[in-house]
Amino acid sequence: MTETMRAIEITEPGGPEVLQLSEQPIPAPGPGDILIRVAFAGVNRPDALQRAGSYAPPPTASPLPGLEASGEVVALGDGVTQWAVGDKVCALLPGGGYAEYVTTPAAHALRVPDGMGMKEAACLPETFFTVWSNVFMRGGLQAGERFLVHGGSSGIGTTAIQLANAFGARVFTTAGTDEKCAVCRDLGAERAINYKTEDFVEVMKAEGGPNLILDMVGGDYIARNIKALAVEGRMVHIAFLSGPKAEVNFAMIMAKRLFVTGSTLRPQSDLAKARIAEELAEKVWPLLDAGRVAPVMDQTFLLEDAAKAHARMETSRHIGKIVLEVGA
């Protein structure tokens, strides 16, 4: 193994053009870590926020972008016993995925599901950790409940639709085109609402209101979500693409006994992420093994074309996940 690797660095805060190919030292795994030779890396909205200078990595994380990857374990840190050199894994990363090698806590890695390629496996960690922890662990979704996820054609949305459907919920979603709505229905959504031509509040109120909403939009959707929610409904925020501020009628929250919460994944403790990984391995990976749930793929770009991948993501024309081919 050489001492350097190809990697994408953020040269300065800005648009996709600030992502540049560079040579970086190969990181060494610390105690409890594994070193992965990266095959594919997932591209996610937090990567773009970091690139723009609005989502700084934790102090101990790599400054390189990239929060999920698939590949082969090539070295073990002290104390690692659950993996061996040569194992094929996909992993949630603290950063550094846009590179030929990356380290991550061993407990944040999961085996590549049966019959799944490395490209598809690279799309699992960030999205599935986020959906499982927010929809099921934090949001408490139960079979038979009405679940509304905004942005149904995104990586988060396509995952949330499939998992909620697999666990018996009635799934509703919003999307911006008829094509995207059709994809959402094919994935298991009972109703896909084109937000450009329909009012999701009125549609959902006619259904009795959502018991749970997963929102990544924010802005004026916050008040509209509160209006739409069923009595004792829950709302979980994971992003604010339209801004984090809104004028909210708290009397409605009180009258309907609503529960409003949210989370971000990256700043959580290693232990918290390990617990999410344990639940995924037990409850979700069997669905992936059986082909009942699978990532929806959009486009693949070479590592050196990371700027093009970000430009694609920021058009919002993509359906499903965008990945970088690193060392396949």
Predicted pLDDT of residue 2: 83
Predicted pLDDT of residue 198: 97
Is the predicted pLDDT of residue 227 greater than 90, yes or no? yes
Element housing 208 (H / E) = none
Is the predicted pLDDT of residue 266 greater than 80, yes or no? yes
Does 142 lie in the same domain as 104?
Answer: no
For every residue of 225-236, DSSP letters joined together read HHHHPPTT-EEE
Residue that is last in its domain, among 262, 285, 311 = 262
Are 252 and 284 spatial neighbours (Cβ–Cβ below 8 Å)? no
On average, the pLDDT of the chain sits at 97
> Rounded to 10 degrees, what is the CA torsion of 7, 8, 13, 14?
170
pLDDT per residue over 94-152, tens digit each? 999 999 999 999 999 999 999 999 999 999 999 999 999 999 999 999 999 999 999 99
Residue that is last in its domain, among 219, 245, 262 = 262
Are 288 and 124 spatial neighbours (Cβ–Cβ below 8 Å)? yes
Does 272 lie in the same domain as 227?
Answer: no
pTM for the model: 0.95
Q: Show the tokens assigned to 263.
A: 């989370």
Predicted pLDDT of residue 225: 98
Number of domains the chain contains? 2
Is the predicted pLDDT of residue 328 greater than 70, yes or no? no
Q: Show the tokens assigned to 145.
A: 């409940």
Is the predicted pLDDT of residue 163 greater than 70, yes or no? yes
Beta strands in 11-64 (DSSP E): 19-25, 33-43
Mean pLDDT score, 166-174: 98
Predicted pLDDT of residue 271: 97
Give the range of the structural domain holding residue 186, as residue numbers without chain letter.
Answer: 128-262
Does 282 lie in the same domain as 223?
Answer: no
Predicted pLDDT of residue 282: 98
User: What CA–CA distance (Å, rounded) separates 183 from 319?
Assistant: 8
- CA-nearest of 205, 212, 199 to 228 is 205
Is the predicted pLDDT of residue 10 greater than 80, yes or no? yes
Does 283 lie in the same domain as 256?
Answer: no
Output the domain CATH number for residue 18. Answer: 3.90.180.10
